[in-house]
């Protein structure tokens, strides 16, 4: 997951405290219940997840023109239909596809040779060091990009059928675009995405790794190393599915496109940014049926298995606050230097966070509705509060108070702010003429960049006047020389590095526009049940009740940020089994000891195989 995702350690204990169970319903007499939030940016993250991953149910697509990147809306269907409706499991039905799927299900789940091959595929990919860094130079100038050439060589040798059957185009040197052309070109393609790059390993942490970060060590249960989870498991999982289908002689009717960027961890401009342009040139505006990229998976929450495909991502906005004042010798200082003034402004920022508010058009609310409807072990008081919140604003406020008692959940719901960069001054005996800081915002799906600009502008206006600073914000003059005479300097707010990103359009999940979501949801259920039945891994036991599918939200951003014009059906999901409670999920993503359970990796391969076959048979996309 990219730089806009939360760090791996933040994923591992997303919790709801007593407040969720009590929250003015009962007195604070119950013990704390820690649960892993299915909602959140998981995985992966990233989010989240969302990361990190926030689940949603019973919603209708609203919103504007997604092609113009307008913020789409989902609104809860109140009292008009079932809460969190579920699709039936979906498995391939055609005789050839069903036979291939059954054989591959058995091989993936039980065949020791297939397991050995899967381990070799993933471990071998980890051994090729493909780190990406912030601020890398042009492709033909910065030698650090060259690490991807050996990775391409590895893929060529590991997946021979993919490379002799699919059309491969290299975009911007290292972006990989594979096209498995189907027999019916009137059908929009299925696009599966992943990224080749990994976050760098901090050399100071090498002694903390159980196995060296690029060893690809297999201990009989896990493959260890950087990228084993994020995101080479997704990339290799997709290629393993295609290679296996080719080996069985499968020929698709619907084209399958694979798009693998190479700098997702550094925002993706060189990789997915250029792949998106090429994809649009080939397939046109809205020319893809659906996209599935890295994202969340499933885990057991409140006694039930819950899957959380990501249908949205937060926006992203870096604000540079810059203070300029007169310089001079530090022996004759003014009451406030530029650094002192900037410090006051930053303290004011932190004293005034953007308040999160729970509403019926937010994923956390929908997540609670899903849990209240389908999870077996939700405490009765909480279940009652969730149901009351559908019609009672008072109950909705109580539910919000309960959720926001957990800082992580509050951050996932609302627009956040974090002061991440600061700089000022050049010498200890010289008054600083310039000081600046960068405030990072992650923008909730119910807001937008303009709203954050307006809020930040208004927040600092009073202080700018107090310190007699002229004030410009995002190109507009707010306070002039006349307003602050005598002027003591200037304050400006600007979009740092021009990286502002609106919240992603929300993927439709109900109604006539939700065919892709229904296909994905049915595929998740079908793959979950079939793998449970076919595998001999002990970790697949205790899954007899099936799985609930609840759309989710990412707190960070994936490469799909560049693909909005290709389709309105974008899902961040890789079917990773996060296990029960705190015993699974993110496995050291972005930190030491990243690893991937082989059983979970095999289940990912099985899911991608099922998805390709189901999408091929569908005529509703």
What is the set of active-site residues?
197, 264
Sign of CA pseudo-dihedral 504, 505, 509, 515: negative
* Distances from the Cα of 561 to the Cα of 239, 378, 383, 452, 556, angstroms: 22, 35, 35, 19, 10
Question: At 150, which helix (H) or strand (E)?
Answer: helix 148-158
Q: How far is CA 539 from CA 271, 299, 524, 580, in A?
A: 36, 12, 17, 10
Nearest to 515 by CA among 188, 108, 250: 188
| CA–CA distances in Å: residue 581 to residues 220, 377, 381, 430, 578 | 23, 13, 21, 55, 8
DSSP string computed for 307-354: E--EEEE-EEEEEEEEEEE---BTTS--SS-HHHHHHHHHHHHHHSPP
CA dist., res. 511 & res. 508, Å (int):
8
Phi first, then psi, for residue 59 (nearest 5°) are -130, 160
Distance CA 436, CA 438 (A): 7
Q: Residue 293, annotated ligand binder?
A: yes
433 in a known ligand binding site:
no
DSSP 206: G
User: Is 590 known to sit in a ligand binding site?
Assistant: yes
CA torsion, ordered 229, 231, 233, 236, to nearest 10 deg: -160
In 3D, which of 374, 363, 265, 368 has the Cα closest to residue 310? 363
Give the separation between CA 43 and CA 22, rounded to whole angstroms. Answer: 29
CB within 8 A of 284, min separation 6: which ones? none
Torsions phi, psi of 615, nearest 5? -65, -35
Q: How far is CA 98 from the centre of its chain?
A: 32
Separation between Cα atoms, residue 238 and residue 152, nearest integer Å = 15
What is the Cα–Cα distance from 504 to 278, expressed in whole angstroms?
21
Residues making up the annotated binding site are: 195, 230, 265, 293, 590
Residues making up the annotated binding site for Zn(2+) are: 195, 230, 265, 293, 590
């Amino acid at each position: 997951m990219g730089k806009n995702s939360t760090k791996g350690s933040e994923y591992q204990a997303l919790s709801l405290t007593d407040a969720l169970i009590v929250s003015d319903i009962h007195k604070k007499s119950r013990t704390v219940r820690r649960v892993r939030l299915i909602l959140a940016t998981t995985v992966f993250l990233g989010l989240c997840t969302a990361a990190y991953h926030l689940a949603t149910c019973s919603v209708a697509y609203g919103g504007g023109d997604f092609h113009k990147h307008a913020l789409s809306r989902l609104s809860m269907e109140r009292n008009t239909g079932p809460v969190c409706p579920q699709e039936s499991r979906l498995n391939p039905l055609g005789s050839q596809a069903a036979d291939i799927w059954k054989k591959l299900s058995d091989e993936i789940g039980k065949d020791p040779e297939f397991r050995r091959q899967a381990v070799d595929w993933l471990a071998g990919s980890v051994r090729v060091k493909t780190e990406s860094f912030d601020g890398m130079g042009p492709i033909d100038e910065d030698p650090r990009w060259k690490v991807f050439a050996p990775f391409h060589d590895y893929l060529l040798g590991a997946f021979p059928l993919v490379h002799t059957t699919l059309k491969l185009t290299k975009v911007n040197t290292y972006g990989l675009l594979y096209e498995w052309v189907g027999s019916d070109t009137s059908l929009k393609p299925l696009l599966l995405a992943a990224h080749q790059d990994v976050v760098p390993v901090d050399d100071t942490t090498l002694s903390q790794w159980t196995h060296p970060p690029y060893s690809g060590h297999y201990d009989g249960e896990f493959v260890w190393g950087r990228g084993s989870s994020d995101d080479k498991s997704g990339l290799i999982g997709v290629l393993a599915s295609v290679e296996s289908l080719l080996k069985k002689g499968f020929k698709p009717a619907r084209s399958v496109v694979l798009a693998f960027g190479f700098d997702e961890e550094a925002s993706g401009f060189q990789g997915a940014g250029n792949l998106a342009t090429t994809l649009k040139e080939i397939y046109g505006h809205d020319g893809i049926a659906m996209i599935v990229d890295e994202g969340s998976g499933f885990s057991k929450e409140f006694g039930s298995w819950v899957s959380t495909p990501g249908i949205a991502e937060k926006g992203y906005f870096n604000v540079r606050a810059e203070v300029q004042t007169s310089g001079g010798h530090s022996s004759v200082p003014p009451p406030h230097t530029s650094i002192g003034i900037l410090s006051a402004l930053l303290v004011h920022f932190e004293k005034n966070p953007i308040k999160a508010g729970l509403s019926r058009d937010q994923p956390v609310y929908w997540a609670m509705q899903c849990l209240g409807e389908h999870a077996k072990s939700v405490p009765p008081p909480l279940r009652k509060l969730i149901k009351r919140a559908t019609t009672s604003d008072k109950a909705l406020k109580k539910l919000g108070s309960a959720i926001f008692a957990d800082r992580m959940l509050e951050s996932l719901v609302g627009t956040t702010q974090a002061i991440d960069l600061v700089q000022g001054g050049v010498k200890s005996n010289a008054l600083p003429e310039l000081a600046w800081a960068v405030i990072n915002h992650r923008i909730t799906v119910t807001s937008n960049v303009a709203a954050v600009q307006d809020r930040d502008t208004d927040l600092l206006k009073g202080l700018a006047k107090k310190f007699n600073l002229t004030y410009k914000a995002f190109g507009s003059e707010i306070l002039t020389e006349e307003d602050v005479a005598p002027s003591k300097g200037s304050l400006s707010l600007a979009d740092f590095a021009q990286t502002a990103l609106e919240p992603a359009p929300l993927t439709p999940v109900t109604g006539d526009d939700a065919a892709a979501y229904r296909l994905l949801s049915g595929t998740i259920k079908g793959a979950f049940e079939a793998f449970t039945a076919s595998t001999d891994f002990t970790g697949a036991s205790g899954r007899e009740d099936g799985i609930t599918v609840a759309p989710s939200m990412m707190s960070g951003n994936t490469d799909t940020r560049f693909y909005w014009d290709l389709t309105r059906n974008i899902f961040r999901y890789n079917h990773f089994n996060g296990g029960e409670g705190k015993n699974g999920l993110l496995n050291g993503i972005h930190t030491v000891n990243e690893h991937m359970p082989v059983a979970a990796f095999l289940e990912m391969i099985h899911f991608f195989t099922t998805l390709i076959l189901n999408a091929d048979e569908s005529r509703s996309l």
